[in-house]
Amino acid sequence: MPQQKPLVVVTRRLPDTIETRMRELFKASLNIDDHAMSKDELIEAVKSADVLVPTVTDEIDADIIAAAGPQLKMIANFGNGVDHIDLNAARERGITVTNTPGVLTDDTADMTMALILSVSRRIAEGARVIPEGNFHGWSPTWMLGHRITGKRLGIVGMGRIGQALARRAKAFGLQVHYHNRKPVAPSIEQELEATYWDSLDQMLARMDIVSVNCPHTPATYHLLSGRRLKLLKRDAILVNTARGEIIDETALIKMLEAGELAGAGLDVFEHEHVETRQATQNCCVASHGFSHRRRPH
């Protein structure tokens, strides 16, 4: 008699090839309409699932893990981090937690570089001009961006993604600086021509561009606090493709609105609410150009 396939509950819609392969290998329960599952839905899922496949938007806390049936043996996160999963609660229940480190390294580095260029060259802001009916003809100083060649890039977190970003940045003529818990291997530092700063404060105060590429842990929550954000130069830009909670988002928005920072490119948000995302988009992702950073808003 063939062995019964384990029940795998997938919390969000995944690429078709992945879902198809899951159906071939497992008894897979798919989220066809891609809605964000509520806590009650997640609790119901873990009562019957052998494997839960969540994503970064699912908060798998101790209550959900406590509700799991004895058959739940694995929480296999679709993504890099596991900061949204209560690891202690999972460990106490003997549930294995996995993630997929490395698979998004180049993609995230590409996105980071794209945001650096987008903010510096005001690409996102410019793309909104015609649809919003604000194009009134070209002039030499209109929508003037800024070149990045020769600028100093400070990378907060020199892991796989930080190093991949550094290689791209070097090709664009940026001077690479970084802050990490400890320096990278001398061979990597030499390859990237990177300058190490043991003091995050000192690095932030000297950079033209700052990119956040460290994981979200209790130690990195609001690592870029309101105080540290104030250390940035007024014509600096900030990019975050790591986790929203690493930056004090409220303080960042206030600085952008006050013209105390040239611009920000955010792929993640601290507060995943529609109102917050809209406010952040209006003053961050659209990016205030360098030549207009003191313009009233």
Catalytic residues: 243, 272, 288
Distance between CA atoms of 277 and 128, rounded to whole angstroms?
17
Asked if residues 264 and 119 have their Cβ atoms less than 8 Å apart, the reply is yes
**Which tokens go with 39?**
């806590």
Burial of 181 (0-12, 13-18, 19+ CB in 10 A): exposed
Q: Is 154 helix (H, G, I), strand (E, B) or coil?
A: strand
> What residues does 266 pair with on adjacent strands?
240
**What gap in Å lies between CA 14 and CA 30, rounded to an integer?**
9
DSSP 30: -
The alpha carbon of residue 64 and the mean position of all alpha carbons in its chain are separated, in whole angstroms, by 25
- Side chain identity at residue 169, one-letter code: A
Strand, helix or coil for residue 128: coil
